[in-house]
Chain A
Amino acid sequence: MTATDPNLTETAVTISVNGNDVAVPAGSSILDACTAAGIDTPTICYAENLTPVNACRVCVVEVENSRTLVPSCSRTAEEGMVVQTDSDRVRHSRKMVLEFLGSGVDLSQADEIAPWMETYGADPTRFGDDVETMNESVRIEDDLYVRDYDKCVLCYKCVEACGDDAQHTFAISMSGRGFGARIATEFDVTLPESACVYCGNCVAVCPTNALQFKTEFDLRKADNWREEDQSVTQTVCSYCGVGCNLELHTQDERIVKVTSPNDHSVTSGHLCIKGRFGWQYVHAGADD
């Protein structure tokens, strides 16, 4: 008897990335190959624990003999593929994507995206002041998390995490078309009225803080959210026997938010309401 799934076999494929050969297990994406080659690739809608949806197009690369640029997150690496990640065409496309997103959406708290703006010289302000914006107000409907669609780039990650990539609750989806497209609950009811079960997996995958823990929102509002003073401790949730790993983000000796490591085998970054939000008793009475 073997201790691993006998169906898992690892044959390698080799592709060329920027002129260097990279070997990756069969089934890997071009993005995986770029990562293996030590090349940093911008991504927004991609997450290692979600199925790629090709929404943001910021991870595009040039593949020899391909008419269009291809999204590296979803395209499987094939033997002999020749990939360029830093050509003029790639840089230009990535820059435009970032500028379009940044012009209509508030990316002020999109910490993962900010460095890419600099790398690609993207200037979202160059379209002028009168560009159309999301123009949404913050929705605060409960004590657990808030929705601020002014910051939403419509990357679909929350929809995927709520749906068949993790939670299977399907409480949210895309509603509307064109610039009017928004992430919404059924008939746009409030979250407590919706099918939401508050696992917070949507919040965990949001790249722009459009979905934000209420604790973080309140601290930011009080101008007291200080990531530089925070530390992260990995531990195990206490609420059942699954063994989900928790990352406790603490500031001033208080837990301020809970995430879960995407690369851990037990739940790949996903939690339930108790693991995500049930920690508050740790500080019960602390403010009395």
Chain B
Amino acid sequence: MTGLDNGARMYAVDPRRTSSAKFADLWLGLELGSDVALANTVANHIITKDLVNHEFIAHSTEGYEAFKESVSTYTLERGAALTGLPAEVIAEMAEAYATAEKAQILWTLGITEHHNAVDNVLALCNLALLTGHIGRWGSGLVPLRGQNNVQGGGDMGALPNKFPGFQNVTDDAHRAKFEAVYGVELPAEDGIHLTLMFEAMERGDITAAYVIGENPADSEADIQHARKMLSGLDLLVVQDIFMTRTAELADVVLPASVGWAECEGTVTSSERRVQRVRAAVPPPGEAWHDQDIIGELARRMGYDWGHPTSEDLWEELRSLSPLHGGMTYERLEAEGGLQWPCPDVDHPGSPFLHGWLWEDDLGGRGPAPFSTVEHAGPKEELTEQFPIRLTTGRSLDSYNTGVQSGGYDSPIRYGDALDINPADAARLELDDGERVLVSSPRGSVEMPIRFQPDIPVGLTFTTFHFPELVDINKLTNDAWDKRSGTAEFKAASIRIEKLPAETREQAAVVEPIAGA
């Protein structure tokens, strides 16, 4: 906001007129799922107007000619038709982005929770390569993370194909390094990610699961299918701080402690800043620290790891991950966190990642490739049966499945309502607050509607924070991007039907209880 106060321009691209959009110079309320079409049209317009950074493209990128050809069909007229935006608005944003001294593209799950998520991201990367808005102070590509340690989880190797520090499971040299320190032989093949795990459960290839700090029985798309899979396992172990819906399905529940208030350790933010979390209060009752639970499991399986402190574990990580090599606990505390890469103790950390693109020898790397990507709308098309779009997301005061944010009484919480444009509601003869039946090809839920003029006609929105009130993931589409493993939470097709008169009244809003 200080940036905006200082004169920065902001273009908000979102089907909904969000709070951020209200601070923007322009709100581009595009059709749900037309992100690639918009990015390609912006690219083509920048090329047509010759606002590209020729020097940067020649020095730092490859595949420009093919890319230029691929976006040439995305004229302003076609882009306008695909996105539903006025051509002159697309042109204005394209010119503003290309001619700005510094510019950033920031995005979050509205880009990545689509069946073509990776294409959406690549389309944005193309814009940065076209203009050179990358790897320089104040410019860049900024994916905003939704949790305090989703970045750190990946950095620490909580990915099926990576060891800590993004070292490859299939790389013999990387694996040998970890085998030497861990003292065991490690599998040489990539594992599988969450979405593939559910498919493996369906085939019967996975019969046991150990879930730590996640609530997939509420959070997965097409939730009825996910619950069926979890219920059908021979063994489900859940390690959590609450009896979540997933924990209720478990054979064994291991009570854990709150990572940021009851434990020592580190988390890594969106900007790759590693920071210390510290224990302020002891865990309640029989709850243990995650690392102690895992250590005890290992001991019972025949491996005695002793009782390492968080700092001991971090020191091991530092010895194995060059990205983190220079980050001692002492420095993390003294310097307010450090951004990786930080290879040695004299390294100041890295506020941005891709400065190498501007180095004479590209830091010894190859040029950054443009990608050719094509528009493909939501997997699920609108039909006569399901003529309305549903998209899901968060609200300011709540978080994910509400397990944590349900623990406090927020005066601005409006609950489980389906936001709908009053014009759509009028067409369907619905009143504000009326309970309705909402159905997608996968299931139905009853929920109240809320008139919301910031939602365009034809689109509806609700949060996923209140699964105990409305099982909204019964409706969401589990079609997923084969490259990222992410389901298309952001675009389903629904219909809205009136309920019989006696059930139409808005039920009293039931406040969720933490852990419910």
**Contacts known (A142-B411, A164-B1); A5 close to B515, Cβ less than 8 A:** no
CB of A273 within 8 A of CB of B404, answer no
Q: Which residue in chain A gives the minimum CB-CB distance to B262?
A: A282
Is there contact, CB below 8 Å, between B515 and A281? yes
A143 vs B151: C-alpha distance when bound (angstroms): 33
Are the C-beta atoms of B137 and A6 separated by less than 8 Å? yes
A253 at the interface (CB under 8 A from B): yes
Bound CA–CA A16/B475 (angstroms): 70
Say whether B273 faces chain A, with CB atoms less than 8 Å apart: yes
Give the most central of A235, A273, A280: most B CB within 10 Å.
Answer: A235
Contacts A192-B411, A236-B267, A284-B407; is A272 near B396 (CB within 8 Å)?
Answer: yes
With the chains together, A5 CA to B137 CA distance in Å?
Answer: 6
Alpha-carbon separation in the docked complex, A5 to B269 (Å): 21
In the complex, residue of chain A having the shortest beta-carbon distance to the beta carbon of B271:
A243
* B405 cross-chain contacts in A, Cβ below 8 A: 239, 274, 278, 281
On whether A284 and B242 interact (CB within 8 A), knowing A235-B277, A238-B148, the answer reads: yes
Does A53 lie at the interface of the complex (its beta carbon under 8 Å from any beta carbon of B)? no
B409 within 8 A of A: yes
CB of A198 within 8 A of CB of B148, answer no
Q: Say yes or no: is A265 at the interface (Cβ < 8 Å to chain B).
A: yes
**A235 CA to B260 CA, complexed, in Å:** 6
A284 in contact with B280 (CB, 8 Å): no
A234 at the interface (CB under 8 A from B): yes
User: Chain A interface: which of B82-90, B347-355, B419-427?
Assistant: B347-355
Q: Is the CB of B350 within 8 A of A3?
A: yes
User: What is the chain A residue whose CB lies nearest that of B398?
Assistant: A274
B284 sits at the interface (CB 8 A): yes
Whole-angstrom CA separation of A167 from B455 in the bound complex: 24
Q: Which of A248-279 contact B (CB under 8 A)?
A: 248, 250, 253-255, 264-266, 272-274, 277-279
Does chain A have a CB within 8 A of B397? yes
Q: Cβ of B151: which chain A residues have Cβ within 8 Å of it?
A: 241
Interface string of B265-283 (1 = CB under 8 A from A): 0010111010111111110
By the criterion CB–CB under 8 Å, are A241 and B270 in contact? yes
CB distance from A17 to the nearest CB of B (A): 29
Which B residues are CB-close (under 8 A) to A192? 411-412
B138-A265 in contact (CB<8A): no
In the assembled complex, the Cα of A241 lies from the Cα of B271 at a distance in Å of 8
Which residues of A in the span 197-253 have a Cβ within 8 Å of any Cβ on B?
197-198, 231, 233-243, 245-246, 248, 250, 253
Bound CA span A231–B282, Å? 13
Known interface pairs A233-B280, A235-B261, A280-B407; A266-B273 also in contact (CB < 8 Å): yes
B147 within 8 A of A: yes
Residues of B near A237 (CB, < 8 A) are: 148, 260
Interface residues on B, range: 35 or more
Q: Contacts A248-B261, A279-B261 given; indicate if A241 touches B150 (C-beta within 8 A).
A: yes
Main secondary structure of the interface of A (DSSP, over half): loop
Contact B408 A197 (CB under 8 A): no
**CB-based contact B407/A245 at 8 Å:** no
CB neighbours (8 Å) of A168 from chain B are 1, 23
Q: In the complex, A1 Cα to B411 Cα: how many Å?
A: 47
Indicate whether A285 reaches chain B with its CB closer than 8 angstroms: yes
Q: Which residue of B lies closest to A240 (CB)?
A: B146
A23 within 8 A of B: no
Distance in Å: Cβ of A147 to nearest Cβ of chain B: 13
Contact A236 B275 (CB under 8 A): yes
Kindly state whether residue A11 has any CB partner on chain B within 8 Å: no
**B502 proximal to A (CB < 8 A):** no
Residue A286 lies at the interface, judged by CB distance under 8 Å to chain B = yes
A281 x B406 contact (CB < 8 A): yes
Q: Identify the closest chain A residue to B339 (Cβ).
A: A3
* A238 CB contact (under 8 Å) in B23, B260, B355, B406: B260
A256 to B515, CA, bound (A): 21
Chain B residue nearest to A3 (CB atoms) is B351
Given A235-B278, A241-B151, A143–B23 Cβ distance below 8 Å? no
CA distance A5 to B261 in the complex (A): 34
* CB interface residues, B 378-419, toward A, < 8 Å: 396-399, 403-412
CA distance A266 to B339 in the complex (A): 12
A26 neighbours in B (Cβ, 8 Å): none
Interface residues, chain B, with chain A CB atoms under 8 Å away: 1, 5, 23, 135-138, 144-151, 241-242, 258-262, 267, 269-271, 273, 275-282, 284, 336-337, 348, 350-352, 355, 358-359, 396-399, 403-412, 513-515
10 more A-B contacts (CB under 8 A) besides A273-B410, A283-B281? A1-B358, A3-B350, A142-B411, A168-B23, A233-B280, A234-B278, A238-B259, A274-B405, A281-B406, A286-B284
3 smallest beta-carbon distances between A and B, as pairs: A241-B145, A281-B407, A243-B269
Interface residues of A (CB under 8 A from B): 1-6, 141-144, 164, 166, 168, 191-192, 196-198, 231, 233-243, 245-246, 248, 250, 253-255, 264-266, 272-274, 277-286
Q: List 27 A-B contacts (CB under 8 A).
A: A1-B135, A3-B348, A3-B352, A4-B351, A144-B408, A164-B5, A166-B1, A168-B23, A192-B412, A233-B279, A233-B280, A235-B260, A236-B260, A236-B275, A238-B259, A240-B147, A243-B148, A243-B273, A255-B280, A265-B336, A272-B396, A273-B410, A278-B405, A278-B408, A281-B515, A282-B262, A284-B513
